[in-house]
Amino acid sequence: MRDVGAEDGLHEAMLRHSEDRWRDALLAAEIFAVGGHDLGGLWLTARAGGVRDRFLDHLRSLMRDSIPFLRLPVGASASMLCGHLDLAATTRQGRLVWDRGILAAANDGVLIVPMAERLEAGPAAIIAEAMDTGFCPTLRVTHDNDAPVPASFAIVALDEAAEPEERPPAALADRLGLHVNLDGITWRTVLETPPIDGNWLSDDWRVVTVSDDLAGQLSAIAVSAGHASLRTLLHLLKTSRILAAKAGRNEVNAKDGLVALRLCLGIRLVESEGRSEIEPPGSEHTPDQAAGNADSTAPHETEREPPAAALDSLTEVLAAVERGTIEGLSLASVARPTRNGNRAGKAGSRSKNARRGRPYGESRNQPYPDARPDIVGTLRAAAPWQVIRAHLLNQGSRHEDGAELKDAGLPRRLLIRKEDFRYRRRQHHNPSTAIFVVDASGSTALERLGETKGAIEQLLARCYIRRDEVALIAFRGTSAEIVMPPTRSLVAAKRKLAALPGGGPTPLASGLEKGLGLALAERRRGNTPVLVVMTDGSGNVALDGTPDRLLASRQTGHLAGLCRTEGIPSICIDIARRPRESVTLLAGQLGAELHILRQADSARMSGLVNASMEAART
């Protein structure tokens, strides 16, 4: 007979998980409808699909009909956000007409930011300034009698990230009070769980009070979970007050604080053998992982809020957070994600003034010799001067009889001068290329090569979405060989790595020579090379193939110095069974990071190289 107990338990656990997530999402929508811009906004983590569309439709139904919902265009520039010169209206009316911009149009409404994980830092900073001040930043010269343009709105940031590293910019994420995650919610749950009636929505929450002890506990939990921002505490307090107002109370209690922690920070209490634990967002078991552990399905594997009677205060929550790591995850995973550095998915160093790529600004100078002017930018720069130039032109123009022209209006053709030309500046993220220079000699070569093959295969899986490439140079015998040119093909890499031999002397100088040449070639292609040297440091073969240890040492130092002079990012991994000073010396000559692996580990090796490739993007 078929054993269906484990499968039934897994199905029930997934169903409870889906129902809990959807109830939290509906509750967050109600709180957002009440708090609005007081809570900053809502961070919605979900891929495009029917579940997300149903949630957004429900969110719109809770808001008043007069509240506008505007969608931010992907790649919106600063002028689109803050306003720009309306060329059509200016030409038609014969005077300067300014478009007020997207932020001003979203005043007293909701601004939806699609693909928030790819939002650039510049537009994010402009949006953050408008959220803080309530007024739209201006990009044009204003007069004393010009009143500031109001721009008070709430944000719905649609985070469609495929990787954990892809997150909205920190300037925007820190100002979003609510975090809703729709991952794992089934369509069946959405259909069977109708939205809750929002007739209770009102502004009565402003009279709800919070005790100093409860506020102190919420602050301690937020700081312990990695949220030192004062905005986080304010969001927690406001959310707790709205929850208390919904329940008809005039004071916040501990249960309101627990729900606010779940809706704002994603910190959840789950049952685990009679005691409560904190579960960080994203730590739930995936269906595949749960299937592997189906025989031991326990209540603590699913999100289940404990009875309110067991929660006298938030003290045990703080104690659970301060205990340290949870099931191997650090406290950083408990904290709400923030953006630091560049985003994942953007490969290589950033090349500005490139011929292709994403626009990021305008310039009066040509970014490259044969650059063409930006027509719209040029017309906007020339439009304010048309009346003055027409007047000057008419003053200097006379008929054949010497009579001066009296028509000082706009000319029939635009008067554009050289200083009006504007050029679109673009930036392009170059792909990275990890070049493995592997010592394939010696008695332990098979072990090292096996781990190297595993590391390269893991890197290829990560590099595929970032358009990065991986190459392999093996040195053994009397020379080095480019075993695998730069590629992103996992199939080709496995095929070439399978036939890689090992054993023989150590021509380290030849390996560095090949690596330097390939790195310079990749740089000429526009890629960012990262040199990964894996050796025990004991080179004993010169460049000409002769077994001369002293000459090989001098040539190795010279080539390492050239790599450092060229500014090629390098990693030096000591793969000897015991650390050797020769590898430390080589790392110093290369100016490389030194890592000692007494036991070869493909996962750790892949992680080191991936971290260096991420650093090369900054």
Instruction: Read off the pLDDT of each residue in 111-119 and give the average, rounded to a whole number.
Output: 92
What CA–CA distances, in Å, run from 59 to 28, 42, 284? 9, 11, 26
Q: What is the pLDDT of residues 326-335, one digit of tens each?
A: 232 233 333 3
403 shares its domain with 455:
no
Domain end among 288, 305, 333: 333
547 contact partners, CB below 8 Å, separation of at least 6: 505, 540, 541
Count of domains observed in the chain:
3
Domain end among 333, 364, 392: 333
Instruction: Check residue 448 and give its pLDDT.
Output: 61
Q: What is the pLDDT of residues 362-381, one digit of tens each?
A: 788 888 787 888 888 888 88
Span between the terminal Cα atoms of the chain, in Å: 59
88 shares its domain with 142:
yes
**DSSP H or E segment with residue 394:** helix 386-396
Kindly tell me if the per-residue pLDDT of 114 is higher than 90.
yes
How many other C-beta atoms are found inside a 10 Å radius of the C-beta of residue 582?
18
239 shares its domain with 204:
yes
Of 30, 86, 88, whose CA–CA distance to 59 is shortest? 30
Q: Would residue 197 count as lying in a domain?
A: yes
- Token code pair at residue 467: 């358009």
Q: What is the domain-level CATH number for residue 264?
A: 3.40.50.300
87 shares its domain with 65:
yes
Q: Would residue 444 count as lying in a domain?
A: yes
Of 485, 488, 540, 541, whose CA–CA distance to 518 is shortest? 485
Of 136, 92, 617, whose CA–CA distance to 383 is shortest? 92
176 pLDDT tier (thresholds 50, 70, 90): very high
Instruction: Read off the pLDDT of each residue in 270-276 and give the average, rounded to a whole number.
Output: 43
Q: Would residue 340 count as lying in a domain?
A: no
364 shares its domain with 218:
no
Instruction: Check residue 126 and give its pLDDT.
Output: 92
Domain end among 273, 301, 333: 333
291 shares its domain with 436:
no
**DSSP H or E segment with residue 590:** helix 581-590
Of 484, 427, 420, whose CA–CA distance to 452 is shortest? 484
Q: Which stretches does DSSP call E strand in 34-100? A: 41-45, 69-71, 84-85, 98-99
463 shares its domain with 420:
no
Adjacent-strand bridge partners of 470 = 434, 487
Of 175, 188, 193, 165, whose CA–CA distance to 25 is shortest? 193
CA 47, CA 44: separation in Å to the nearest integer? 9
314 shares its domain with 383:
no
285 shares its domain with 178:
yes
Q: What is the domain-level CATH number for residue 515?
A: 3.40.50.410
Domain residues for the domain of 128 are 5-333
Cβ 168 vs Cβ 125: under 8 Å: no
Instruction: Read off the pLDDT of each residue in 143-155 and give the average, rounded to a whole number.
Output: 79
Burial 107-129 (b: 16+ CB within 10 A, else e): bebbbbbbbbbbbeeebbebbbb
Q: Would residue 344 count as lying in a domain?
A: no
360 shares its domain with 285:
no
Instruction: Check residue 323 and give its pLDDT.
Output: 57
599 pLDDT tier (thresholds 50, 70, 90): low
Q: Would residue 559 count as lying in a domain?
A: yes
